[in-house]
DNA sequence: CAGTGGTCTAGACCACCAA
DNA sequence: TGGTGGTCTAGACCACTGC
């Protein structure tokens, strides 16, 4: 597994899969191996992965090397460490930070759950634009969902989701309505699709008549347009989302460093 | 310095400054000490800090402990490691990522430098709102700057800056005009104020007549409102900035994970 | 109590850089 | 060549969790 490393197994198995020309440190290779197991579903979201000692034994490296690999996975929010208990596969379900990717927060105070209303959930063929974003071919099957999220009864977010049809075969509006908690949790539970990172492009736009009606604002009102592309492991895009946020009582919060 | 730790100096100097009741790991204490030196200006932005070995000797801990402290400082972008050369105090000047805090990017292609035009630079007394943000008292002296940033000749950003008067005594419009590169670099060089992190609140708003005129858009056009509070070390707020971004050719880019 | 992650050390060697 | 950060190991002990 190691391309070269000093003490452990210096001459051991020449590693038939050593087709990697570029050097990478041992702990990166270990990280990659753990990543592959995560991707393959060897451990389900919320479950514990093997202890550092076990992994060290499995991969024939020291605990410190495994630790450094896991450190990086934890920094990327792929995995969650809990002292005295173990290391757990991150999930959108009961992660203490629910709605990890939603950065819209109320201007003051807290708010309860979001009320979801599904306006549409249908299968169609990918437009050129959607196909490009999701790395599909134009005309490939996709699922489109349109919904409104309300906080304390006020419609605040109008969004469209596009999902690759092959990965979300059985998705129905009923399922979306029935499910409690983050939609990304549903994707994990029902379709085995885990979103691990996303990129957002944010703009200010004016509401058109239809959007204004759905959000209960005057036509032409300024709205935050948030286009999000979400990725599973290995940088595979699995969801395109276009959201319109009302920002009269909420704001998009971002921390820079 | 260590509240308790096993091998190094177990009985040594009881550390008169050990007024910290809560336990914290050694490397955190080292990090804190390095942070204090950074804050005190022991090493200037862009300069190298002492090598890991030197710091380990100075603080009487192992290199590994210093390393972990520096790891965290590097993760927070306070310091920059360069293999074979040393560890350097982060700066907004020639950091390979210029304009660290500006997340507005062109929809396609690259763009040259921003052209700045300073509309105003005056000393006044803090309003209640500004005072609260900057943790001053209402009526305390502040400096306000208003300026427009243009890209390829198109006015794109209109922003107001508020700075604590006591820390930015000599700031003039001329200085702002003369200076090349990021404004935060000027703050470092001329006033010794280093911004290390910031929080942004983003909204969509409609341009009023004055704003529209300055940005060359129709009145009522949707603009991105970006309110930024920037901090120096120790979470001291040092700048309030209110920006209006045109997002017809640019967008605000954010990465989630 | 045993098992987990968290801290700390000491020492070896590697990769990179500059003189 | 010597000095820097980067990787890796081995072993000790600490802090937290749950049985």
Please state, in angstroms and rounded to a whole number, the distance separating the CA atoms of residues B166 and A48: 53
For domain A99-252, give the fold.
Chorismate lyase (3.40.1410)
Q: Band the pLDDT of A16: cuts 50, 70, 90.
A: very low
Q: Is the CB of A54 under 7 A from strand C?
A: yes
Residue nearest to nucleotide C10 (CA to C1'): B62
Q: Where are the beta strands (DSSP E) in A126-257?
A: 141-151, 154-164, 197-206, 222-231, 237-245, 250-256
| Nucleotide nearest residue B2, measured CA to C1' | C8
Other CB atoms closer than 10 Å to residue B242's CB: what's the count?
Answer: 16
Is A211 an interface residue toward B (CB < 8 Å)?
no
| Structure-model confidence comparison of residues A226 and A9, the more confident one | A226
Phi, psi of A208 (to 5 degrees): -85, 180
CB A101 within 8 A of CB A91: no
- Minimum Cα–Cα distance from A73: chain B residue: B257
| Residue A254 predicted with pLDDT over 50 | yes
Mean pLDDT is lowest, of A93-102, B86-95, B198-207, for A93-102
pLDDT digits (tens, 9 = 90+) for B92-122: 987 666 789 999 999 998 887 889 999 999 9
pLDDT digits (tens, 9 = 90+) for B34-70: 999 999 999 999 999 999 999 999 999 999 999 999 9
Check residue B256 and report its DSSP letter.
E
Please state, in angstroms and rounded to a whole number, the distance separating the CA atoms of residues B173 and A44: 59
| Structure-model confidence comparison of residues B167 and A7, the more confident one | B167
Q: A194: distance to nearest CA of chain B, Å?
A: 12
Output the distance from A249 CA to C17 C1' rounded to whole Å: 54
Domain ranges of chain A: 26-89, 99-252
Please state, in angstroms and rounded to a whole number, the distance separating the CA atoms of residues A121 and A159: 12
Q: Band the pLDDT of A22: cuts 50, 70, 90.
A: low
Total-model pTM: 0.90
Please state, in angstroms and rounded to a whole number, the distance separating the CA atoms of residues B247 and B116: 18
Is A224 an interface residue toward B (CB < 8 Å)?
yes
pLDDT digits (tens, 9 = 90+) for A190-230: 999 999 999 999 999 999 999 999 999 999 999 999 999 99
Contact A196 B247 (CB under 8 A): no
Other CB atoms closer than 10 Å to residue B148's CB: what's the count?
Answer: 19
Q: Band the pLDDT of B4: cuts 50, 70, 90.
A: very low
Tokens of B79: 């310091």
For domain B26-89, give the fold.
Arc Repressor Mutant, subunit A (1.10.10)
* DSSP tally for chain A: helices H, then strands E: 7, 11
| Residue A42 predicted with pLDDT over 60 | yes
């Amino acid at each position: 597994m190691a391309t070269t490393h000093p003490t452990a197994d210096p001459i051991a198995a020449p590693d038939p899969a050593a087709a990697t020309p570029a050097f990478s440190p041992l702990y990166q290779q270990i990280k990659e191996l753990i990543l592959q197991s995560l991707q393959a579903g060897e451990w389900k979201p919320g479950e514990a992965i093997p202890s550092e000692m076990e992994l060290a034994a499995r991969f024939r490296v020291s605990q410190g090397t495994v630790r450094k690999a896991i450190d990086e996975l934890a920094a990327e929010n792929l995995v969650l460490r809990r002292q005295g208990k173990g290391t757990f596969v991150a999930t959108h379900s009961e992660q203490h930070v629910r709605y990890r990717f939603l950065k819209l927060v109320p201007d003051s105070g807290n708010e309860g759950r979001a009320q979801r209303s599904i306006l549409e959930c249908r299968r169609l063929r990918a437009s050129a634009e959607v196909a490009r974003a999701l790395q599909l071919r134009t005309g490939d099957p996709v699922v489109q969902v349109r919904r409104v999220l309300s906080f304390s009864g006020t419609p605040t977010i109008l969004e469209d989701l596009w999902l690759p049809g092959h990965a979300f075969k059985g998705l129905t509006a009923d399922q979306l309505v029935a499910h409690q908690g983050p939609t990304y949790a549903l994707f994990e539970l029902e379709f085995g699709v885990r979103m691990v990172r996303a990129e957002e492009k944010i703009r200010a736009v004016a509401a058109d008549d239809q959007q204004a009606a759905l959000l209960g604002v005057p036509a032409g009102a300024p709205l935050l347009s948030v286009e999000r592309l979400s990725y599973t492991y290995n940088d595979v895009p699995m969801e395109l989302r276009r959201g319109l946020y009302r920002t009269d009582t909420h704001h998009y919060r971002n921390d820079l460093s």
